[in-house]
Amino acid sequence: MDRSWFFTPLAVAALATQACSTAPPLATVERVELERFMGDWYVIANIPTAIEKGAHNAVESYRLDANGTIATTFTFRDGAFDGKLKTYHPRGYVRDTVSNAVWGMQFVWPIKADYRIVWLDAAYSVTVIGRNKRDYVWIMAREPRIDPSVYGEILEYLEGVGYDVARIESVPQRW
């Protein structure tokens, strides 16, 4: 007995539900001056990836290479301020050269994860990196702390663009 008629409406309903729940693309900042963005950024808070859970003193460092890619060094102490030092070296690839705000971040070849600069203050002292999926986010600053009012403003912004801010965790910083 042919039951394909039964699965077709279910498939259509599932696709329609999925389409309705998909968030619009996450807007980025208008323009990033890559040279100014390079350097050290303390990770103040995030929705952590599996490798970042329990990170202390997390720092993301960027260096613009001659070929236009971004050499990245991500370091943190695992589980405590005196925990084992972990270091990762993903590579960034600017995907939108008009804004320089959309990158692909490659931890493992050939996958380049969505990496969007969605918040950047005029002094290049506080930034937020997000993803279209709203699954991960990183709030970073040039100093190991940011003003609580700025942090609150960032959380309001992130909630407004579809992030579940209850999932955002502070990253302990003590230097």
pLDDT of amino acid 2:
43
Q: Please write the tens of the pLDDT for every residue from 128-138.
A: 999 999 999 99
Residue 149 has pLDDT above 80, yes or no: yes
Give the three-class secondary structure for 59. Answer: strand
The CA distance from 88 to 51, in Å, is: 10
- Residues 14-23: pLDDT tens digits? 333 333 447 7
CATH class of the domain comprising 25-170: mainly beta
> What's the count of helices (H) and strands (E) in the chain, helices before strands?
3, 10
The per-residue pLDDT for 12 is 33
What percentage of the chain has pLDDT greater than the value 90? 81
Give CA–CA dist 141/139, Å, rounded: 7
d(CA 118, CA 162): 13
Under the banding of pLDDT at 50, 70 and 90, the label for residue 8 is very low
pLDDT of 9 higher than 80: no
Q: Please give the pLDDT value at position 10.
A: 34
pLDDT digits (tens, 9 = 90+) for 46-87: 999 999 999 999 999 999 999 999 999 999 999 999 999 999
